[in-house]
Structure 1
Amino acid sequence: MAFTKSSVRDKEGRRNKDGAGSGTWDMIRTLLYAGLIAIFVRTFLFESFNIPSGSMIPTLLVGDYLFVAKYEYGYSRFSLPFSPDLFEGRIMSQVPHRGDVAVFRFTQDTSIDYIKRIVGLPGDHVQMRGGELYLNGTEVPRTDEGDSVASDENGTRMQGRRYEEALPGSAGHGPVAHQILKLTSDGPYNNTPDYVVPAGYFFAMGDNRDDSADSRFMGTEPEDLGFVPMQNLVGHAKFIFFSIDERHPLWQVWEWPVEIRWSRIVNWVH
C-alpha cells in the first residue's frame, strides 16, 4: 500500500502528540506517587517540627528543626493531617517512657503543638520542693555542671545553673540522663503540691524549668497545661536535622552561613 506525503505527516504528528502526552502523564503520576508517599511518611512514620520557644533549653534551642517518630506511641486522630474527628483514643497504643521528649497537642487548644519532657506516668507522684524534682517521694538526682547563659525567643538573657538530671527508668528502660537549666529555686512552681498523675494521662515539664508553661500549671487560665491526655500525643522527638540562630534580618543573606549551628545538625535528642 502506498502512502501519500500528507498521510505520513499525519501519522508522525499523532506519534509526536501521543509521546508528549505520555510524558506529561508520567510526570503527573510521579508527582502523585511522591505526594502519597510524603503523606504516608508524615502520617505514620516521621513529621518535622521546629522549636519556636526557649522552654526546652538547653536540650532544644530556638531555631532547632527536628524529626518526630509518630509510630512509637501508636496513632490518634492527632496523627492524621487536619486531625479529623474519626475515632477516640489511640490505635496500637504504647505508653511513653519517663524522660522521653514528646510532641503533643495543647490541652486547651488542640490545634497547637507543644514539646516537653515526659516526667510522670499514670500513678506517679510528682512534686517540686525548693526547686528540686521529687518523683514518687524520692528526690531525682542531679549533678551541678556550672553556670549557664542562654537566650529565649524574645532575646531575653537567662543566667542560671546547668544540671544533669537522671530520671528513673520505666517499663524496662534504664534511667534517662538529660540536661536542665535552673534560674531560681523560689516561687510557687518550685514548691508545688504532690500531683498524682491520673490513668490515661502524663505529666510534662520543660527542661528550662523556670521558663516553661508545663503540667505544674494546673489552674483554669487559658495558658495552663495541666495533666496531658495520652490521646494528645503526636510522637517522640528523635533527632535534630537542622538548626539556625536567626540573629539577623532575613534579607541579610550573607549572614545565613554564620547563623547555622553546624554542631547541632544530625544530633540525637536526649
Structure 2
Amino acid sequence: MAKKSKEGGNAIWETIKTVFWALIIAGLFRTLFFQPFWIPSGSMKDTLLIGDFLFVNKMAYGYSYASCPNIHVGPINLDARQICGFFDGENKRWLGHEPQRGDVVVFRHPVSGEDYIKRLIGLPGDEIQVRDSLLYINGKPVEVKDGGTFVEKYEPQGPQGRPPRCANAPVGEGGECKKFRLIETLPNGVTHDILNIGYMPSADDTGVFRVPEGHYFMMGDNRDNSTDSRFAQSVGGVGFVPAEDLIGRADRIIFSSAGRSLLYFWTWRADRFFKKIV
C-alpha cells in the first residue's frame, strides 16, 4: 500500500512539473516570437475584420518591456512592466529593427496599457495632416483612387455585439451597410484599402502633427471609426506612440470567424484563413 501511495505521489509530481515547464515554454514562445491577437473592433476594416485571429511577429522590431504579456489570471494581476521592467526606460528597444511606413502594428496604449492594432502612417520627423478626408505626409497628399463600395450586413458583430456604422444610415437589421472604399498608396509604395463613412471634422480635418523622435503616428484603415494618433491621449486617443510600446507586426490572418464564438462553425470565413495582411 505504501508503495502504491508513493507511486501515486510521484505521478502527481511529474504532472505538476510537466504543466509547469509547458507554461514556461509557452510563455517564452509568446514573449520572444509570436503573440496571438484577436481583432475585437472594426477600426481596421476592411484590412482586418472583427473576429480575425492572427499571430503578432515580435521579432520584427526587437524587444522592449511591451514584448512581455500582461497576465490576468484569477488573483494574479501583473502588468508587462512588472514582468519585464528591466527593459523599460529611455524609450529603447533591444535588438531593434525600424518599422516601415504602412506596417500593421500591434502596440501597447501609452496610457491604458491595452493592446491596439493600427497602421503605421508617420515616422519620426514626419509632418502628418488630414485635410478634407485626404491624408497629407510632409505636405504632400497621398495617392488615392476609387475602390468601390464596402458592403456588410447591419447586425451585431463579434463578442461585443455592436452593429457597424454605415454611410447609408439609417439601415434596418439585416440590411446592407455601405462604406466608401478608397485605395491609398503611401510614399514608400505600400497600397491598402481605407474606408470612409462621412465627414467628421475632428477626424477629417486636423492640424499638423509633427512626429517626435522615437515615436510613431498610427491610424486605423476604417478612418471614421478609429481612435488613433489623430486624437490626444488626454481625450482617450492614442497620440504619438513611443518605440518602446511597439509589440510587433501583424503579417498574416490565421483564422477568422464572424460569429460571437469559435464554436459557431457556420460563421467561419474560410476565404480569410492564412490571408496575408497588406
CA-CA distance at 1:243 after TM superposition:
1.3
1:161 and 1:122 map into 2 onto residues whose CA distance is 30
Gaps of 5+ in 2: 70-78, 167-177
1:56 and 1:259 map into 2 onto residues whose CA distance is 20
Task: Describe how 1:202-241 pairs up with structure 2 within 5 A.
Answer: 202-218=216-232, 220-221=234-235, 223-241=236-254
CA distances 1:76-130 after superposition (whole Å, capped 9, x unpaired) = 11211331233323222222110011111112312x1111000000011111111
> Under a length normalisation based on structure 1, what TM-score does the superposition of the two structures give?
0.82
User: Could you say which residue in structure 2 is the equivalent of 1:98?
Assistant: 101
Greater shift, 190-199 or 79-88, is seen at: 79-88
1:17 and 1:224 map into 2 onto residues whose CA distance is 60
2:233 and 2:217 map into 1 onto residues whose CA distance is 15
User: Could you say which residue in structure 2 is the equivalent of 1:7?
Assistant: none
Aligned partner (choices 25, 28, 35) of residue 40 of structure 1: 28
Matched-pair contact (CA < 8 Å) for 2:124–2:214: yes
2:227 and 2:68 map into 1 onto residues whose CA distance is 26
2:20 and 2:110 map into 1 onto residues whose CA distance is 35
CA-CA distance at 1:50 after TM superposition:
0.8
CA distances 1:167-215 after superposition (whole Å, capped 9, x unpaired) = 122xxxxx21111111224523211112111101000000001111111
Amino acid at match of 2:131: R
Give secondary structure in 2 for the equivalent of 1:61.
coil
2:162 and 2:10 map into 1 onto residues whose CA distance is 53
Amino acid at match of 2:268: I
User: Could you say which residue in structure 1 is the equivalent of 2:179?
Assistant: 160
User: Could you say which residue in structure 2 is the equivalent of 1:116?
Assistant: 118
Amino acid at match of 1:129: R
Aligned partner (choices 262, 265, 268) of residue 273 of structure 2: 265
Greater shift, 19-28 or 153-162, is seen at: 19-28
Matched-pair contact (CA < 8 Å) for 2:42–2:49: yes
User: Could you say which residue in structure 1 is the equivalent of 2:213?
Assistant: 199
Matched-pair contact (CA < 8 Å) for 1:142–1:166: yes
Give secondary structure in 2 for the equivalent of 1:97.
coil
Task: Describe how 1:1-270 pairs up with structure 2 within 5 A.
Answer: 14=3, 23-81=11-69, 82-83=79-80, 84=82, 85-86=85-86, 87-88=88-89, 89-110=92-113, 112-150=114-152, 154-158=162-166, 159-169=178-188, 175-185=189-199, 187-218=201-232, 220-221=234-235, 223-246=236-259, 256-270=264-278
1:26 and 1:108 map into 2 onto residues whose CA distance is 42
Give secondary structure in 2 for the equivalent of 1:268.
coil
Which 4+ stretches in 1 moved above 4 angstroms? Answer: 16-26
CA-CA distance at 1:131 after TM superposition:
0.8
> Under a length normalisation based on structure 2, what TM-score does the superposition of the two structures give?
0.80
Gaps of 5+ in 1: 1-9, 170-174
Matched-pair contact (CA < 8 Å) for 1:131–1:184: no
Amino acid at match of 1:96: P
Indicate how the Cα distance of structure 1 residues 76 and 164 shifts in structure 2: closer, same or farther if over 3 A, else same: same
